[in-house]
Amino acid sequence: MTDATASASALSQLQAHYIQHIQRKRLYSAIMLTIFVLLMVSGFMLADDRNAGGFWAGLHQIFDFPAEVLTEAGEKLANLPGLMVKFLPSLIETLNIAGASTLIGALIAVVLSLLSTRGLARWPRLVGVFRRSMDIMRALPEIVIALVLIFILGGGPVPAMIAIAFHTAGALGKLFSEVNENASLKPVEGLQSVGATWGQRMLLGVLPQVAPNYLSYALLRFEINIRASAILGFVGSGGIGYDLKNAFSWGLGRYDEVAAIFIILFLTIVAVDQCSSYFRNRIVEGR
């Protein structure tokens, strides 16, 4: 009997405890949610306030510009294929900027990542230095480097390429060094036991293990870099973005060009996305 009452009171105690716990948790969630909603609303109002045109005033105008472009492109529909061919060289330049910068950035990233992985580093004491420098390379937006380089080198694809490669080296370096950490050290030790240099150990012991993962990340980065190189063109660094800016600032009358550029840029991005995700899946499954 006493046992039963004791366990009953213990149970009710437990229940009270549980309910209290749940209530506290709910209270926290409610507070968090309120703070979040307040942040969103006040942030929205602030941003709306500091914008040149208001959100509500502009909302119904969103489709004005696409409509203008579409009408003009519709009137000059016959021009579109010719214009797409005309802008093909710029598109290739944009792709080349992305390709070359991904390649160069990835090569630098391989070296940086090996130097900043514990257990593989050439100079273990400098691991922190290389990591920090990768953080800085990653933190710098491409546009900053591109604009500064345009001042020195003049416009054209090279500043954009260097800027994107610099950022890519930092971004891929971090991902690569995460991959390196999971690499087996046995081949490296084996190579060391036969007197291989650091370069040989990395080239023959580590890279074959991690190459598929590297490739997969590099493909993903290539997708991102195409977008970045189109944007950099818009601020004056060659490629399709530059043509887009010219056509766009000309305004009405050259919107058929804007439409043509939109279309080829869209198609390229979608095509590259599809190809790269196909190859990435194959790389991952192929192992």
Q: Which of residues 5-24 bind other proteins (CB under 8 A)?
A: none
Q: Which is nearer to other proteins, 16 or 270 (CB)?
A: 270
Sign, CA dihedral 19-21-25-31, equals positive
140 sits in the region (left: phi over 0; alpha: psi -120 to 50; else beta) called: beta
Residue 75 makes CB contacts below 8 A (sequence gap 6+) with 256
Residue 141 beta carbon to other proteins: minimum distance, rounded to whole angstroms: 5
Residue closer to other proteins, measured from CB, 55 or 123:
55
Nearest to other proteins of 156, 187 (CB atom): 156
For residues 162 to 201, the per-residue mask of contacts with other proteins, x marking binding by CB under 8 A and - elsewhere, is ----------------------------------------
Concatenated DSSP letters for the chain?
A: -HHHHHHHHHHHHHHHHHHHHHHHHHHHHHHHHHHHHHHHHHHHHHHHHHSSS-HHHHHTTTTHHHHHHHHHHHHTTTHHHHHHHHTHHHHHHHHHHHHHHHHHHHHHHHHHHHHTSTTT-SSGGGHHHHHHHHHHHHHS-HHHHHHHHHHHH-SSHHHHHHHHHHHHHHHHHHHHHHHHHTS-SHHHHHHHHTT--HHHIIIIIIHHHHHHHHHHHHHHHHHHHHHHHHHHHHTTSSSHHHHHHHHHHH-TT-HHHHHHHHHHHHHHHHHHHHHHHHHHHHHHHT-
| Terminal CA-CA length for the chain | 65
Q: How many residues bind other proteins (CB under 8 A)?
A: 60
Residue 161 engages other proteins in binding (rule: CB under 8 A):
yes
Report d(CA 198, CA 189) in Å as an integer. Answer: 11
With CB under 8 A as the contact rule, the residue among 16, 22, 59, 275 that binds other proteins is: 59
Chosen residue from 139, 182, 195, 287 binding other proteins by CB under 8 A: 139
Over the window 98 to 137, marking each residue x when it contacts other proteins by CB under 8 A and - when it does not, the resulting string is -xx--xx------------------------------xx-
According to CB under 8 A, which one of 54, 81, 82, 199 is a site residue for other proteins?
54
Q: Which amino acid is it at 38? A: L
Structure tokens at 253: 């009358």
273 is a contact residue toward other proteins (CB under 8 A) = yes
- Between 197 and 274, CB nearer to other proteins: 274
Residue 58 engages other proteins in binding (rule: CB under 8 A): yes
The reply on whether position 93 binds other proteins by CB under 8 A is yes
Nearest distance from C-beta of residue 63 to other proteins, angstroms: 8
Ramachandran angles phi, psi of 279, nearest 5° = -65, -35
Using the contact rule CB under 8 A, the part of the chain among 9-17, 92-100, 114-122, 185-193 near other proteins is 92-100
Binding status of residue 84 toward other proteins by CB under 8 A: no
Q: Which stretch binds other proteins (CB under 8 A): 76-84, 114-122, 151-159, 194-202?
A: 151-159
Which residues bind to other proteins, rule: CB under 8 A?
Answer: 36, 39-40, 43-44, 46-48, 50-55, 58-59, 61-62, 64-66, 93, 96, 99-100, 103-104, 135-136, 138-144, 147-148, 151-154, 156-158, 161, 227, 230-231, 234-235, 241, 244, 248, 262, 265-266, 269-270, 273
